[in-house]
Structure 1
Amino acid sequence: MDEENLRKRKINVELKYGNLAPDKTDSEGTKPNEQKSVALQKQVGLLSGISLIVGTMIGSGIFISPQAVLSNTGAVGPCLIVWAACGVLATLGALCYADLGTMITKSGGEYSYLLEAFGPIPAFLYSWMSIIVVKPSSFAIICLSFATYAATPFYPGCEPPQNVIKCLAAVAIILITLVNSISVKLASYVQNFLTAAKLLIVVIIVMAGIVLIAQGNTENFKNSFDGTQTSFGSISLAFYNGLWAYDGWNQLNFITEELKDPYRNLPLSIIIGIPLVTVCYILVNVAYFTVMTPTELLQSSAVAVTFGDRVLTPASWIVPLFVVFSTFGAANGSCFTAGRLTFVTAREGHMVKILSYINIRRLTPSPALLFNGLLAIIYIIPADINTLINYFSFASWIFYGLTALSLIVMRFTRKHMRRPVKVPIVLPLVVTVVAIYLILAPIIDSPDWAYLYCALFIVGGMIFYVLFIYFHFSWTRRIMRPFTKHLQLLMEVAPAESES
């Protein structure tokens, strides 16, 4: 497209939507184009908030993590204890985040809290790691799980080909990204529907398990602690995989600016959502063990499908269908919140400017969503889910621990900030100590180059911070300016109004 056409298209867009340039205050202190500014809208209520938490947490984890948790604990008894302990830890962490989220009502989750407590460098390193690795890899893991369950019924007796799984995962990523880019309300409606669907399949599995226990299928619960593994590292890896299934407990903090009445709905969504998920997870694992021995569970390529084949015949097709709904809903929630983190980070100047723009028609952070989707497609190429989970969990808990620590720090450095929800200081202390254990335990017990690479990647973010943010090299802005202009016109996006 030549310069003249670009100029004409820009004029047409400005005539229809107003000037897309950032607001400037005139000599009288008013903003001439204040009526034309764009910003994220408060469209997420209590039900949608609960659905986002429950819908993101109950996703792929409960259908793929049971094997990894069992293999690292070695027996049924400690496996169930780990699932319960993960639920308690997720609740404690979420309560700390409720305190932070009602004190600092900005979207962006950990990024906003680290920025307030420790300044720009820790916040940037978090965003660097999360936007480039953690969030897109999480999106990729969930979509790979979705693809595995979607393809399994078409390959009875064997595992689906990896190429089929990868292609299905890529299609899911593209579809979810488009849904979230089109409309916040549409994404919320999809989330609410899929959350209802996944709760239905959880109820079916739990009820089937209760019936089987009533019929006397309790063999696998006898001597349930025989063969328990108690090594320092294996327990932490069991927690990694269990906590992966609970991941999503902090998702609502990424969209605080879009939450109606955040002082009420943020803590309520957490208090209702996470205990509900914890009870569901424990009961689902109990149901699994009513029909599968530990060895059979470890050998299953899709645990929930195996359960359905043995218990729900001839209606066993229900399980893979609803598991597909469940994983798709979790992926939708992951995409929804990851886009907001990228958006807020770019708005603060810690990512390229175009990622902080909002679509002027849809009022969605479409550039940030598309960027996250593109990285997720790259991450499905290896398709090694367990490696991705361990890498994801190690990186995540570094910053979960720092975020809990930020709450402790701000009790002393921000004494006069309003705190509608104030948790006892012992809660962030417990979360910080557990985070330190989860970070150090696998390294001490079984050193792996992957952990070193992860740490180096985080520290390597300092190079980009110094070059492109601290020194503000003018040549980088000159290079990005035409690129940003063309993308802005192509995607019809504009700078967002900053939240105070």
Structure 2
Amino acid sequence: MTETTPAFKPSLGLLDATMIVAGSMIGSGIFIVSADITRNVGSAGWLIAVWLLTGFMTLTAALSYGELSAMFPKAGGQYVYLKEAFNPLAGFLYGWSFFAVIQTATIAAVGVAFSKFAGYFIPALELNDNNILFQILGLNIYTAQIVSILLIVLLTWINTNGIKSGKMIQTTFTVVKLLSLFGLIIFGLLLAAKSSIWNANWQNPWEMVNRGADGTVLGGVAGSAVLGAIAASMVGSIFSSDAWNNVTFIAGEVRNPQRNIGLSLFFGTLIVTLIYVAANIMYISVLPLQDIASAPQDRVAVSASKAIFGDVGTYVIAVMIMISTFGCNNGLILAGARVYYTMAKDGLFFKKTGTLNKNDVPEFALWIQCVVASVLCLSGKYGDLLDMISFVVVLFYALTIAGIFILRKKRPDMERPYKAFGYPILPALYIIMAISFCALLIYYKPIYAGWGLGIVLVGIPIYYIAVANNNKQSL
């Protein structure tokens, strides 16, 4: 009997890939970040405009990625695209940032969100001083953080058992949360038909104002401050819309990836964009703007659900967010490990990361991702991580889409089963918008953007150490 060498199995169809895109995007953000956006821009028109702008950027990027995914239908996604368009260093800096903060911090933040909303049912999980388990290095460690780590460990273990286990969880939980969100929106809009809140919220839709924590207007926003308010608002909406590119990391496990990756990127991002905009229309249909801005702990969806269903609405949303974050983290964990696997194959990551277990998945890569995400669960600095993630993510998106222009010059004869929609106008427009967003973050939030950039730059000496080590081993 001959033993077969472990290899990625193309077992995901178009529906599975689309559910990975949509499921990885929808975590806890849509239920929360509209409060902060409303405090920054203050009006109904600008609240919807921020979500539409984010949706446009996301769709444009996804449609552009379709060309790259068709050219390089292999595991690793964005790491591979940057390496091929620029050089191995560019690919490594993305992979390093992905491991250090982009994917792992997102997994941690989503895991803690699961535990926080489970606190509605289990008071011991609420993040308050009564639930501190112990202190370490000056950090308070809460029961919720431990539960978050256990959730990440559980999902990591499930995904070590093969792609089919992860696929089943992803498809099931994504379908459930899409239907739940759709139902919440419908009920909210039905209630709004009997309410005067909508008309009140749209009296001055384009008058941008700054609101305090209690929702009251602090003052108008004008001049260059408008751009700063939009950039600050988009930190949350971009985080909520991120992770759509996760499906490109598992291209080696998708059937007919040249076709299905691009289609899943389009369908997944379109579905989520429509739901996000509709959810915010529902929020301003059932809640005054002051209540959106002052939602307790920024939980806008909880306030909206209570307006729709009464007190039981709190528990309706808690269940929805637990389902949403569980499925979201499954997709993040499943896809992320494939990037480290591909980097290891290039000699730029721990060697063991480049091996597959008997179930044809990169088990060691899954577990080291689990360790880093678990450590970040204990940090408690999720707002800071959000700003760093948004800056780094958008920076690399802009570079990757710039790679389309470079590859058309470097490899004009390479087969392109799918070409970027609206090229060169839409990809160029995305790059301009992305660079503007990053520049505004550096100006208005220099500490967090600086930390994000610092994490990227730390990867440069690490890259050259890895290259030197490889050269020694090859001698």
Same fold (TM over 0.5): yes
For the residues of structure 1 that align with 2:111 and 2:46, how far apart are their CA atoms?
29
Residue 315 of structure 1: how far off its partner (Å): 4.4
Select which of 201, 207, 210 maps to 1:220. Answer: 201
Match of 2:136 in 1: none
Of 71, 75, 81, the match for 1:113: 81
Q: Report the alpha carbon displacement of residue 179 of structure 1 after superposing the two structures with TM.
A: 1.1
User: What is the distance in 2 between the residues matched to 1:456 and 1:469?
Assistant: 21
Q: Distance between the aligned counterparts of 2:144 and 2:291, measured in 1? A: 23
Query: Match of 2:183?
Result: 204
Unaligned runs of 5+ in 1: 1-15, 19-35, 478-500
1:269 Cα deviation from its structure 2 partner: 1.4
Counterpart amino acid of residue 75 in structure 2: S
Which residue pairs with 2:462 in the alignment?
464
What is the match of residue 93 of structure 1? 61
State whether residues 27 and 324 of structure 2, in contact with CA within 8 Å, keep that contact through their aligned partners in structure 1.
yes
- Aligned counterpart, 1:166: 145
- Provide runs of 4+ in structure 1 moved above 4 Å: 158-162
What does 1:68-87 correspond to in 2, within 5 Å?
68-87=36-55
Displacement of 1:474 after TM fit? Answer: 4.2
CA distance in 1, matches of 2:56, 2:281: 18
- What CA RMSD, in Å, does the superposition of the two structures yield over aligned residues? 2.1
Q: 1:118 to 1:470 in 2, by over 3 A?
A: farther
Q: Are positions 1:50 and 2:18 aligned together? A: yes
Distance 2:112 2:289 in 1: 24
> Hey, what does 2:310 align to over in structure 1?
313
- Which of 200-209 and 111-120 deviates more? 200-209
- Per-residue deviation, 1:286: 1.6
My pick for the range that moved more, 57-66 or 161-170, is 161-170
Residue number in structure 2 paired with 1:489:
none
- Partners of 1:298 and 1:154 lie apart in 2 by 27
Partner of 2:343: 345
Question: Per-residue deviation at 1:467?
Answer: 1.9
Query: 2:71 maps to what in 1?
Result: 103
How far residue 17 of structure 1 moved from its aligned partner, in angstroms, is 7.6
Show the 5 A alignment for 1:135-284.
135-155=103-123, 161=131, 163-216=142-195, 217-218=197-198, 219-228=200-209, 229=221, 231=225, 232-284=227-279
Matches within 5 A, 1:291-440: 291-299=286-294, 300-301=296-297, 302-313=299-310, 315-316=312-313, 317-360=315-358, 362-423=359-420, 424-440=423-439
Aligned partner of 2:344: which letter?
A
3-state DSSP class of the match of 1:371? helix
> For 2:175 and 2:469, how far apart are their aligned partners in 1?
50
Matches of 2:26 and 2:451 in 1, distance apart?
Answer: 30
- Distance in 2, matches of 1:281 and 1:52, equals 17
Q: Distance in 2 between matches of 1:171 and 1:431?
A: 38
> What amino acid is the match of 1:132?
A
Structure whose CA Rg is larger: 1
Equivalent-residue separation in structure 2 for 1:204 and 1:295 (angstroms): 25
Distance in 2 between the 1:328 and 1:174 partners? 12
Contact 1:103 1:419 in 2 (8 A): yes
More deviation, 264-273/134-143: 264-273
Assess if the C-alpha contact under 8 Å between 1:98 and 1:421 holds in 2.
yes
1:116-168 Cα offsets, whole Å, 9 max, x none, are 11111111111111112211001111111111111134449x86557132122
Deviation at 1:460?
A: 2.0
Verify the 8 A CA contact 1:65 1:244 in the aligned structure 2: no
Deviations 1:292-328 (A, max 9, x none): 2233223322222222223213643332112210111
Aligned mates of 1:241, 1:379 — CA distance in 2: 19
- Stretch of structure 1 that moved more, 381-390 or 121-130: 381-390
Query: Residue 488 of structure 1 corresponds to which residue in structure 2?
Result: none
Residue in structure 1 matched with residue 138 of structure 2 by the alignment: none
Please report how far the alpha carbon of residue 383 of structure 1 lies from its aligned counterpart in structure 2 after TM superposition: 2.1
Q: Distance in 2 between matches of 1:339 and 1:103?
A: 21
SS at match of 1:44: coil
Contact 2:442 2:450 in 1 (8 A): no
In structure 1, what residue type is equivalent to 2:206?
F
Question: In the alignment, is the contact (CA less than 8 A) between 2:46 and 2:208 conserved in 1?
Answer: no
TM, length-normalised to structure 2: 0.88
Instruction: Give 2:284's aligned residue.
Output: 289
Q: Show CA shifts across 1:454-493 (max 9, x none).
A: 3233222121222221453648x9xxxxxxxxxxxxxxxx
Name the SS of the counterpart of 2:435 in structure 1.
helix
* Structure 2: gaps of 5 or more residues: 133-141, 210-220
Residues 17/239 of structure 1: CA separation in 2 closer, same or farther (3 Å cut): farther
Distance 1:283 1:454 in 2: 32
CA distance in 2, matches of 1:137, 1:114: 22
Give distance in 1, aligned partners of 2:445 and 2:12.
Answer: 43
Would you say how many aligned residue pairs link Structure 1 and Structure 2? 442
User: Deviations 1:345-380 (Å, cap 9, x if unpaired)?
Assistant: 1111110100111102x1111111111111001111
- Kept in 2, the 8 Å contact 1:55–1:191? The answer is yes
Assess if the C-alpha contact under 8 Å between 1:152 and 1:159 holds in 2.
no
The Cα offsets for residues 12-41 of structure 1, whole Å up to 9 and x where unpaired, read as xxxx984xxxxxxxxxxxxxxxxx221111
